[in-house]
């Protein structure tokens, strides 16, 4: 579909149907017992997905920060029924997410050290709502002057200042894109 064409109701319903399938299967992985998954034929549905369908499921899990939680279960269930290819695919997804989280922590340490070494006290704010998944951002709090923080982030860490909402401005919140960091 090109930019001049608009989505038809059929296109939209098809997308919603695909998303509902993804949510249903992720819910079975995250919340369902092995018995419920068996009754719902969860493994058969997952095995029936082609590469694009699995990629879409992974993208949905990533969007909702449940890759590690959901795909560790998938890896175990696939192993239990002898589906080694699916188990390996799930293991790779988990490993990739865990590596991303480890890399983020290393970057986070560098950022904190850069800020602290220039007199900007800093505190990492990370809720555990996504645990063991990382989530999509890293939050820091400092009482330092905004200009000093922006200067350190842009000059020393080569970060790009991202757009801020009105609420961000009122709260003195800044958003940065740090080179080499996905978050």
* DSSP-assigned letters across all residues of 119-149: T--EEEE--STTTTS--S--EEEE-S-HHHH
Q: What angle do CA 161, 180, 54 make, to 5 degrees?
A: 110
Instruction: State if pTM tops 0.85.
Output: no
84 and 17 within one domain: yes
Please give the pLDDT value at position 96. Answer: 95
Q: How does residue 127 score in pLDDT terms, banded at 50, 70 and 90? A: confident
Q: Which of 36, 63, 98 is the last residue of a domain?
A: 98
Q: How does residue 12 score in pLDDT terms, banded at 50, 70 and 90? A: low
State the residue range of the domain holding 24.
9-98
Report the number of distinct structural domains present in the chain.
Answer: 2
Q: How does residue 3 score in pLDDT terms, banded at 50, 70 and 90? A: low
Measuring CA to CA, how many Å separate 136 from each of 85, 120, 155? 28, 24, 24
pLDDT of residue 63 exceeding 80: yes
Please give the pLDDT value at position 9. Answer: 67
Q: Which of 77, 98, 119 is the last residue of a domain?
A: 98
Is 182 inside a domain boundary? no
69 and 147 within one domain: no
For 14-55, write each residue's pLDDT tens digit: 777 778 889 999 999 999 888 888 888 888 889 999 999 999
56 and 24 within one domain: yes
Is 42 inside a domain boundary? yes
pLDDT of residue 165 exceeding 70: yes
Average pLDDT for residues 131-155, to the nearest whole number?
89
Please give the pLDDT value at position 134. Answer: 79
Is 4 inside a domain boundary? no
Average pLDDT for residues 80-101, to the nearest whole number?
95
18 and 86 within one domain: yes
End-to-end alpha carbon distance in the chain:
30
Q: Share the mean pLDDT of the chain.
A: 89
Please give the pLDDT value at position 138. Answer: 85
Residue burial 2-14, b: 16+ Cβ < 10 Å; e: rest: eeeeeeeeeeeee
Is 80 inside a domain boundary? yes
């Amino acid at each position: 579909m090109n930019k001049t064409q608009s989505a038809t109701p059929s296109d939209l319903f098809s997308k919603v149907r695909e998303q509902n399938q993804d949510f249903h299967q992720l819910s079975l992985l995250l919340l369902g017992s092995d018995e419920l998954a068996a009754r719902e034929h969860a493994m058969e549905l997952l095995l029936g997905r082609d590469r694009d369908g699995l990629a879409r499921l992974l993208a949905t899990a990533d969007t909702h920060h449940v890759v590690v939680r959901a795909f560790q279960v998938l890896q175990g269930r696939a192993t239990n029924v002898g589906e080694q290819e699916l188990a390996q695919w799930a293991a790779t997804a988990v490993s990739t997410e865990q590596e991303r989280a480890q890399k983020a922590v290393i970057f986070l340490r560098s950022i904190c050290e850069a800020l602290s070494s220039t007199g900007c006290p800093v505190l990492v704010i990370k809720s555990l709502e996504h645990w063991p998944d990382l989530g999509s951002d890293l939050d820091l709090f400092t009482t330092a002057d905004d200009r000093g923080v922006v200067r350190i982030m842009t000059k020393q860490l080569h970060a790009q200042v991202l757009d801020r909402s009105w609420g961000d401005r009122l709260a003195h919140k800044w958003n940065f894109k740090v080179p080499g960091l996905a978050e």
